[in-house]
Amino acid sequence: MKTSTKITSIIIIFFLIIATVIIGRTMIGNHFKKKFSKRPPPGIIVTTTQERVFENVISTYGTAAPIQTQSFKIEKYEILKPINFNQKVKKGDVIANLKNRKIIAPFDGIIGKREFSEDIEVSKSSILINLEDTSSIYCDVDIPEIFVPFIKVGLPVDIKFSGYKNKIYKGEIDSFASRISEDTRSLATRIKMDNMSGEILPGSFLEISIKYNVREGLSAPDTSTIVEGENIFIYKVDEKNKVMKTKVTIGDRYLGFVEILDGLNNGDKIVAEGTKKVRPNLTIRPIEKGAKKKQGKSSWGKKKKSKKGETKKGKFDWLKNIFKKFEFDWLKNIFKKSEKEKK
């Protein structure tokens, strides 16, 4: 009888332990599920689609040349007064006083001394001077055949000169050839720009950017697009801050933006950055792109300070309450009976 009572007690205790573990795990799981379900929605950077200027660019290089130039050969023995080189003169001014004649400037320009080349036959007793009009500069470039349909007189051109790397000079297409070169498969094109400042000297190496197909189009940041095979998507944000995966058709990319041809409207709110943190139908906390983040840490997960007179609750008070719900007096009685039988 004593042996059977002990076995019964052990079996009961075993099942009680199992039941307690199951109940405890369930209560702990519910507690943490409830706790983490209060986590606020993630903060995601958003922006709105808007109209922006898009343009295509042809990049090439060329050499600066004065808009007008004229050379004069002078015998040294003819010179009565020294010639002031690198001096600006106006049309009608005297460039050089010679014994039997005067050289008059046919246009406004700068006087310069020309270096002799092998194709110029002069004696050691002669000099060659130039009058160059640098108020405007031209540059001849070759445009590849594929871009010829876009070349028109008056197309805007951006020009960079290594002497002023951070400055962009404005020019335009002045003229172009009537036929494509069979040797280079390109179109000879002349670009003209204003140079009243005189900053660009003849012979300077120029970087040329010809703009064509300039238009306004709907834009979105490059970072907002999601490429999946041949399809492109953007996360659109509705009025309730829920994101929807939207298929779009794009055009050209320019200066960090992509042209939206179909799928979105002007003013639509979209996810601008952090697309990997987002999934369809997720509710987010939108952060406007470019907005300064507020300083200070989030209050989520912090302990709330108890008011005066209130007792602080421990982390695991809820677990203690589980065991308070169960009465184990009957188990104590079993052990008391077994002790009496031994005696």
What is residue 270's predicted lDDT score, i.e. its pLDDT?
94
Q: What is the pTM of this model?
A: 0.58
What is residue 298's predicted lDDT score, i.e. its pLDDT?
47
CATH pick for 136-215 out of 2.40.30.170, 1.10.10.10, 3.40.50.2020, 3.40.50.300: 2.40.30.170
What is residue 272's predicted lDDT score, i.e. its pLDDT?
92
Domain edges within the chain: 43-53+216-288, 63-133, 136-215
Fold of domain 63-133: OB fold (Dihydrolipoamide Acetyltransferase, E2P) (2.40.50)
What is residue 76's predicted lDDT score, i.e. its pLDDT?
79
Intervals of the chain under pLDDT 70:
1-4, 6, 31-39, 114-124, 291-343
* Residue bearing tokens 């599920």: 33
Fold of domain 43-53+216-288: 2.40.420
Q: Which residues contact 311 (CB under 8 A, 6 or more apart)?
A: none
Question: Do 237 and 269 meet the contact criterion of CB atoms below 8 Å apart?
Answer: yes
